[in-house]
Structure 1
Amino acid sequence: MSGYTPMIQQYFEIKEEAKDAFLFFRLGDFYEMFFDDAILASRELEITLTGRGGGGTEKIPMCGVPYHSAENYINRLVEKGYKVAICEQVEDPASAKGIVKREIVRVVTPGTVMETKALPSNENNFIVAVVQAEESLALAACDLSTGELYVTHMSQQWNVLIDEVQLYEPAEIIGDAGILDTLKERLNITVPMTPYEVLEQSVAMQLVQKQLKEDEITLLSAPRLSVIQLMITYLEETQKRSLAHVQNIREYETDQYMVLDHYTRRNLELIETVRDRSKKGSLLWLLDATQTAMGARMLRRFIDKPLIDQANIETRLDVVEGLYKNLILREDLRSELAPIYDLERLVGRVAYGSANGRDLNALRLSLRKIPILQQLCQSSQIPALIKIVDGMDTCQDIADHIEQVLVEDAPISIREGGLINAGWDDYLDQLREASVNGKKWLAELEAREREATGIKSLKIGFNRIFGYYLEISKSNLAVLPEGRYERKQTLANAERFVTPELKEKEKLILEAEDKMVDIEYEQFVQLRNNIAGHLKRLQQAATIIAELDVYQSLATVSAARRYVRPQISDHYDLTIGDGRHPVVEAMLEQTSFITNDTNLEEASSSILLITGPNMAGKSTYMRQVALICIMAQIGCFVPAQHATVPLIDRIFTRIGAADDLIGGQSTFMVEMKDIQLMTEKATKKSLVIIDELGRGTSTDEGMAIAQAVIEYIHHHVGCKALVSTHFHELSHLEQTLPTLVNSRMAVEERDGQITFLRKLVEGAADSSYGIYCAELAGLPRSIIGRAYELLTVVEQELPRAVQAKQVKLEQLDLFFDEQVAVTAERVEIIPSKVAAIADNKTEQKLVTELKKIDLMNMTPMQAMQWIHDMKNKLK
């Protein structure tokens, strides 16, 4: 250290405070980075790496970015998961003795971004904190840009915690190293994790007390208080400024909402599609007709957490129905909502001290829309809508104050003047008059000197180094009277001069302008601080506006798509008439969607066992049932002719065949873990959807597992379930499970052509049409032809063996040891074999018995057992 210059030594001292971050070290008009920071930043930001002397034996690696464009570079680093510590000069260089004092004024992390340009307007940017306390797991999620703060806790149920963490899709997670290691093992998302612990409980408690109201703190349970302390301490330590907008804790229990784990949300494509992770093609895309960023974010929270309280669902449906039936009101609301800016983030910037003049004018314009929205709702004659705006604070005094103080077209910068209205501050007006008069005097001086000297090109100019000056081209210097002016600066083609009178006037003008800028800045900060005293009022108004926007969005989409109001029931049965998949229907341009009924009834049909070929619509149908339930419980109308939807506490889905490559788990293992979770967590109020159960292992084992799972759901859980399968033999379960019903996707075969009708009908399918599906998928004709040839061989092989009398009775054991019958057709061959070798009376009796049995409703295992018994009788 002693070998380095004082400035580099200062850099090392400050860098110790931010070892895990890039240090943006302010030097004049640049933020500089040194040593390893510079090497890495030059690569990540694609900027030039240079070097400088610093007192050491070798040049120090260095790179830098201009301070006025630093935000873009900071955002690029943060998007890559890095942290950036911003180190500013905190004293005037002109008055500093020795090295200018510098301090870290803020640490920007992925979860603490405040700059609007760096954040998607329609999505939250959550930082999540997690702790283990008193045999509980506690979670807090905060969006610093909007001030939202959610907190919950649960017993030591890691799967519940994982679901909650993934629900927020956090930009950053903080917690002690141990808990973060566990999360890394279990999470299905990649997210920056910051080890962080509260070391001084007393200090943490003081910070919480400064941030939150005492009555809120006393109501917090110990685990929730612990995680709130962690969150607030981390935010205070990294942001080093006011967090006054983070003051409203929203406590909740995880069982207040329908549980949708990560896989279910992905499989049902609630927020984004599975294939390319785009919004288009998701349920959110379909339902999002919001007009504001706040409304879009709230709609996403609605979808993420459907309600399970019937009264609250009905209240939402009442509002949506009122707007559904009133097109004019709906369009008026959309028109008034459209110009409203992102109030939540504007309020956050006000509290944070980063709002500029344009931000405050955006706030003013947005607030002016509140009385209009309130009037529209109050005159709607929709009780549920009137209740939302009843007593709403319109915040017009805040809008009035902004209008009085701030010019209408305020600049972005708040340190260069041009912000404050004339008439607001008397002294400022006087300085402005002095500045205007001074500039008028300069214009008059220029005219006088041109006339006096005869030099028509003489002009008065200004720069920050030399101030005001008279400029005369070199070609005119010969006619300039000697000694008239004092020489100031020589240029290639001109000379610049001053006069005592000009110097005196310059001093007055510049003093006035400097004072004007300082006063305008002070007045603006005072205005911003005054608004910051009304944060709670502004946040409440923003929440109501967002809520109105969500309701009009749901009503607009429901009306356009001809959806109907669902009947919400606290009973068991789920009944849907002519249901449609909302997203698939919306994506179809020329073709109409084929509707299907659903009847899942406790007494007779709690489980639908669906068979049929791939591409016939099984998966679409099952997803559509789940989406209709979710839409109903967020308070939206549903795509059907009619629907009675019971309260669903959780939806389980096992759809798709994606291996967990990161976790090193096969399709089958992932499937079994999903099934295990279902058996552990499903209740009678749950909805289970399993697509092609047991396909990830051998046929016989897969079929055995499928049957066992279905029986478990039927006997022990009793929930509603939709199960699709290619194991047609499982259709026999309809005879032994009273509330299981066979269904199949209808297929029409005519003149060698196969048509998938997409219609769910009763009964079991007798073929999977696999080769036909392969043909539709575009496999080469040679492969398709060969597949049909092989299928013909397989179908004819055993009958030919029987005709040739090659099958012996004692070979039956070997046959069944090596091959388990897969289809009903294969089981039918067995009596043919037995009949071919039967040649005595005992055998004839057995053949008679064989003819009586119901082969179509026997499992392969039952058939094997029957053959075994018959062989013993023959012996």
Structure 2
Amino acid sequence: MAKKLTPMMQQYFSIKNKYEDAILLFRLGDFYEMFADDAKLAAKELELTLTSRNKGKGKKTPMAGIPYHSTESYIATLIEKGYRVAICEQVEDPSEASGLVKREVVRVITPGTVIDNEFLDDKSNNYLATVTAGKNVFGFAIVDISTGEFTVTELSGKRAAANLIDELARINPAECLIDPQIYQESEIVTYIKQQIDPILNDIDERFNYRQAYDLLTDHFNVSSLEGFGCEGLDLAIEAAGATLDFLIETQKRTLNHLNQLSTYSTQDYMVLDANTRRNLELTKTIRDQDYKGSLLWVLDQTVTAMGGRKLRKWIEQPLLKPEEINGRLDAVNEIKDNIFLKEELKELLDQVYDIERLIGKVTYGSANARDLIALKSSINVLPKVEELLNNFSVPKLQDLKGKLDILEDVHSLIEQSIQEEPPVTVREGGLIKMGYDEELDEFKKAMTEGKDWITNLEQQEKERTGIKSLKVGFNKVHGYYIEVTKANIDLVPDNYERKQTLSNSERYITPELKEKEAKILGAEEKSVELEYQLFTGIRDKVGNETKRIQKVADILARLDVIVSLAEVALNNDYSRPAVNASDVIEIEAGRHPVVEEMLEEENFVPNDTYADCDQDRFLIVTGPNMSGKSTYMRQVALITLMAQIGSFFPAKNAEIGIVDRIFTRVGASDDLTTGQSTFMVEMNEVANILNNATKNSLIILDEVGRGTSTYDGLSIAWAVTEYISNPNNIGAKSLFATHYHELTELESKLAGVKNYNVAVKEEGDDIAFLRKIIPGRANDSYGIEVAKLAGVPNPVIKRANQILDKLESESDNYQRVNEDEPVERIKESKNEEIVKDNKQKKDNLTQLALFNPQNAEFLKELSDLDIMSMTPLEAMNKLHQLQQEAKEELNKDELA
């Protein structure tokens, strides 16, 4: 079959065989073409017209193409859908090629290796993650090649797998490379496939410690990795080496902007598992996955892309050391108190482009002249930023000022060399200023003088020939020419040589014009080539300062976040927390930061909170649905988290003792992807809390046990409360919202348990939720009233009230008999007969409530029917009769 292919198609399939997992964009002239299965796939995904090659010559090859100058949007679509794209270019000049032009893949773009701004979210990192596995230990590396961030860690111990999933949830990578050993960890593989997929890479040869170590030390030009803090972390090194190997293979160029490997430990930050991140809506909402409505949306007043990404990291990694937190708070406070300086800083930062990604493009060799001008404009504000920072005294801001490099040499280089408004392309000239290079100046002078001569030529020839309509023109095909209309051909001088005939005119050239044309075009061609060489040289010189520029980018990002937090604190009337190492959380007049911002007219009702690890460690919150229990508990968690990232928060005053973790068990939903029921999902979350919480954690429980029968659920909730509140088990600060009012009895039975409820105002049949948390237990759940407020139809509300009245009246005696110990009968009774009898009474009462005893005759008649001996007509008539009787009974109930 290969003999039937043209040389070009043989070349295509030869290259395609090396990149079977990618869509190959094959450069042919002004188009990137795709063939065979790639063409079919691209035509479907990109809505392209599918054509074919070799029409009329046997078997046709499907074909689809896109213009080379507008590939960005097409590639972005493919990457967004999880595909890899291999860019295959002509790597030799067609005019100099003998036979088929040589082509090679110059880059493979994957979801985790995108660098083009058109494909990226300005304020989010685009991470490639790599995971390696050992015995109860995992290596983890992440890289963002658009910014140069390269980080590793190891996770070990009995929670290693869960911690790894937490880290994957935190960074939300676009792509993940996995060690084949990971397939033994089904929980991790399931998470990666469900949450990260598009791509899993499991090339065994890539995961080799010795190879990884040598590759890393060679890349960073060091003798060991000790200086990066990861020496001895074998699996972390293996993950980092596999990452670098993958990048070299796919990007096919130097990666000088990956000039540092940072090592971190999850123990340095508050642990937030995937459930907590989701339930607290830190960066996106649960329902719609929107940015608006998240904590990040409230706090993000950053004006640079770098600052936006940095703020996201701060939110996702709250600090644990009071001195570090207070250092941030000091900086926020001083900027907040200096409003005019804050505004000046904000205006300066607003002029800064995305330096991190600009320098990434520079070292990648993909930056154009406009990118360098953007870099220069950003550097231009640095002296003014430095001057403003002199006005602040707190250590954090002075430290930023002391480390700020104003990059005078880089600014000077770009200022002297690059035109202020250069073209987008770098291969058509117009990039370099006069005075930067003597040879280029000579070419430009020759071009200018030649063009001036040609401009004067037109007027001279008009006067010499008397042809008033004579024109001197130029086009890329025929060069310069003198154009004369056919009406004036008789006036054409003898030294004119005919060059081209048109319908209404003739075009000529003279020996002198031909000579000037050669000089001009020669100078222009040489000028364009020299400008490109000079530009790449300038770009390389800027790239040599990558590490310095990256440090400046980091300083500006941190400053932008601090200014943003000061801005939010000022605009939203936030207060500074007192952060310490105690076990106390005391909040005066706290508000929910997001809900408060979302309310347009209604004022948010503030609430106080006091919790510690002693007498107020487990707070049971009862009250109706929609009354504000969940909002209150989430606001306590969010206020604590905001304090530990170094932010002011919505409260009058507060003392926040450091918490090591925040756990949340909120709401209920099925996990259809794994076949888990609502109750199983709930129990998994509860198990995670019970197995991993410490005394220094903060636990938020919004209903436990509601997904099963009342007795089962109540028993579980009771036991969970006992376990968490017991200092010998956990003893953590906890808030538990529940509709099991029986749990409120624990206040008198267990040390450290306190009851709170949401105040409700009743006016006749109507209720109003006051949103105020007060001591004590709630008396009612007001479920039917809430259903009415939600818009449930009146007949349903009416019928629900009737059923409720029956249930309450018929069980009144049962409740009175057992009211002294309503839960102890379930949990602690040693008399099994009493428990069994009580349960039977309850079941009977329920049956009585739902099936009225007056209907016994009706039910007996129905049960006595011999359906198998009835004709179809008899059965239909009997069914009609029973239906009419049932309707009459229902009507009686409604009238009653």
Query: Structure 1 residue aligned with 2:252, among 240, 246, 259?
Result: 240
Distance 1:577 1:14, change over 3 A: same
Aligned length: 824
Q: Distance in 2 between matches of 1:529 and 1:131?
A: 35
Over 3 Å counting, the alpha-carbon distance change for 1:459 and 1:76 in structure 2 is: same
Q: Supply the distance in 2 between the matched residues of 1:56 and 1:119 (Cα, whole angstroms).
A: 44
Q: Give the match for residue 487 of structure 1.
A: 498
Q: How does 1:484-523 map to 2 (within 5 A)?
A: 484-523=495-534
1:827 touches 1:860 (CA, 8 Å); kept in 2?
no
1:611-650 alignment runs, 5 A limit: 611-650=622-661
CA contact (8 A) 1:4 1:56 kept: no
Change (3 A) 1:122 1:870: closer
Do the aligned partners of residues 216 and 680 (structure 1) sit closer, same or farther apart at CA in structure 2, a change above 3 Å counting? Answer: farther
Q: Hey, what does 1:811 align to over in structure 2?
A: none
Partner of 1:222: 234
Contact 2:173 2:196 in 1 (8 A): no
1:176 maps to amino acid: D
Deviation at 1:325, TM superposition (A): 1.5
Q: Give TM-score, length-normalised by structure 2.
A: 0.89
Aligned residues of 1:138 and 1:227 also touching (Cα < 8 A): yes
What SS is found at the alignment partner of 1:766? Answer: coil
**Match of residue 553, structure 1, among 550, 556, 564:** 564
Q: Is the 8 A contact 1:198 1:229 kept in 2?
A: no
% of aligned pairs identical? 47
Output the amino acid matched with 2:328: R
> How far off its partner does 1:204 sit?
4.6
Range with bigger deviation, 568-577 or 526-535? 568-577
Per-residue CA shift, 1:17-42, capped at 9, x if unaligned?
11111111111111111111111111
Question: Which residue of 1 is the match for residue 132 of structure 2?
Answer: 131
2:129 is paired with a residue whose SS is strand
1:334–1:859 CA distance, 2 compared to 1 (3 A): farther
> How far apart in 1 are the matches of 2:109 and 2:263?
27
Structure 1 partner of 2:404: 392
Question: How far does residue 203 in structure 1 lie from its aligned partner after superposition?
Answer: 5.7
Cα offset, 1:205, TM superposition? 4.4
For the Cα contact (< 8 Å) 1:257–1:308, is it kept in 2? yes
Q: 1:174 aligns with which of 167, 172, 177?
A: 177
Say whether 1:536 aligns with 2:547. yes
C-alpha displacement of 1:47: 1.4
Equivalent residues of 2:715, 2:826 under 8 A apart: no
Contact kept in structure 2, 1:660 and 1:666, CA below 8 Å: yes
- How far apart in 2 are the matches of 1:107 and 1:869? 69
Equivalent-residue separation in structure 1 for 2:835 and 2:175 (angstroms)? 65
Q: 1:607 to 1:384 in 2, by over 3 A?
A: same
Q: Residue in 1 aligned with 2:879?
A: none
Distance in 2, matches of 1:58 and 1:503, equals 51
- Is 1:5–1:54's contact at 8 Å kept on the other side of the alignment? no
Contact 1:291-1:334 within 8 A present in 2 as well: yes
**Alpha carbons of structure 1 residues 503 and 194: separation in structure 2 relative to 1, 3 Å:** farther
Query: Is 1:107 the equivalent of 2:108?
Result: yes
Report the alpha carbon displacement of residue 80 of structure 1 after superposing the two structures with TM. Answer: 1.0
Q: In the TM superposition, what is the alpha-carbon distance from 1:448 to its structure 2 partner?
A: 2.4
Which whole-Å CA distance do the structure 2 matches of 1:474 and 1:184 have between them? 79
How far did 1:494 drift? 2.9
Q: Deviations over 1:450-476 (max 9, x none)?
A: 233332222222222221122223343
- Tell me what 2:815 maps to: 827
Q: Could you tell me which residue of structure 2 aligns to residue 723 of structure 1?
A: 736
Instruction: Find the aligned partners of 1:474 and 1:146 in 2 and give their Cα distance.
Output: 63
**1:415 corresponds to 2:415:** no
Do the aligned partners of 1:329 and 1:380 also contact (CA within 8 Å) in 2? Answer: no
1:212 aligns with 2:178: no
| Worse overlay, 552-561 or 743-752 | 743-752
SS across alignment from 2:631: helix
1:271 aligns with 2:283: yes
Aligned to 1:769: 782
Q: Where does 1:422-501 land on structure 2 (aligned, <5 Å)?
A: 422-481=434-493, 483-501=494-512
Within-5 A mapping of 1:150-165: 150-155=151-156, 157-165=160-168
- Mapped partners of 1:291, 1:90: distance in 2: 41
The match for 2:200 is 194
- C-alpha contact (below 8 Å) 1:134/1:223 kept by paired residues: no
Q: Which residue of 2 aligns with 1:121?
A: 122
1:868 and 2:834 correspond: yes
SS where residue 153 of structure 2 aligns? strand
Render the CA deviation track for 1:351-399: whole Å, top value 9, x for unaligned: 1111111110110110111111111112223333112211421111111
* Alpha-carbon distance between aligned partners in 1 of 2:691 and 2:703, rounded to the nearest angstrom: 20
Contact kept, 8 Å, 1:133 with 1:222, in 2: the verdict is: no
Farther off after superposition, 485-494 or 297-306: 485-494
Does structure 2 conserve the Cα–Cα contact (< 8 Å) formed by 1:745 and 1:760? yes
Question: Are the equivalent residues in 1 in contact too, given 2:613–2:695 (CA < 8 A)?
Answer: no
**Match of 2:348, as an amino acid?**
E
- Residues 651 and 70 of structure 1: is their aligned pair in 2 closer, same or farther, counting only changes over 3 Å? same
Matches of 1:54 and 1:87, distance apart in 2:
24
SS of residue paired to 1:199 = helix
Q: Deviation string for 1:634-653 (max 9, x for gaps)?
A: 00112111111111111111
CA contact (8 A) 2:133 2:179 kept: no
Determine the structure 1 residue equivalent to 2:757: 744
One-letter code aligned to 1:694 = G
The 2-side partners of 1:215 and 1:580 are apart by 54
Instruction: Render the CA deviation track for 1:583-632: whole Å, top value 9, x for unaligned.
Output: 11111222221111111122211000111110011000000000011000
Where 1:757 maps in the other structure, the secondary structure is strand
Aligned to 1:850: none
Per-residue deviation, 1:71: 2.0
Partner of 1:755: 768
Q: Which residue of 1 aligns with 2:68?
A: 67
Listed one character per residue, the Cα deviations across residues 123-179 of structure 1 (whole Å, up to 9, x for unaligned) are 111111111146521111111100011111112621111111121111111123452
1:535-586 deviation line (CA, Å, top 9, x unaligned): 1100001000000000011111112212111111212121111111111111
Q: Distance in 1 between matches of 2:629 and 2:424?
A: 56
Cα deviation, residue 412, structure 1: 1.2
Quote how far apart the aligned CAs of 1:862 are. 6.0
How many angstroms apart in 2 are the aligned matches of 1:138 and 1:587? 41
Tell me the residue number matched to 2:368.
Answer: 356
Q: Is the 8 A contact 2:327 2:395 kept in 1?
A: no
Distance 1:871 1:767, change over 3 A: closer
Matches of 1:859 and 1:693, distance apart in 2: 20
2:617 corresponds to 1:606: yes
Distance 2:453 2:548 in 1: 49
Partner of residue 807, structure 1: none
Q: Where does structure 2 lack aligned partners over 5 or more consecutive residues? A: 839-896
Q: Aligned pair 1:371/2:383, yes or no? A: yes
Separation (CA, whole Å) in 2 of partners of 1:12 and 1:871 = 79
Paired residue for 1:781, among 767, 770, 794?
A: 794
Superposed CA offset, 1:712-733 (max 9, x none): 1122111111111111111111
Report how far residue 681 of structure 1 moved: 0.8
Aligned match of 1:653? 664
Q: Quick one: distance in 2 between partners of 1:398 and 1:693?
A: 60
Distance 1:174 1:474 in 2: 72
CA distance in 2 between counterparts of 1:795 and 1:203 reads: 74
Cα offset, 1:65, TM superposition:
1.1
- What is the alpha-carbon distance in structure 1 between the residues aligned to residue 323 and residue 825 of structure 2? 47
Letter in 2 for 1:166: A
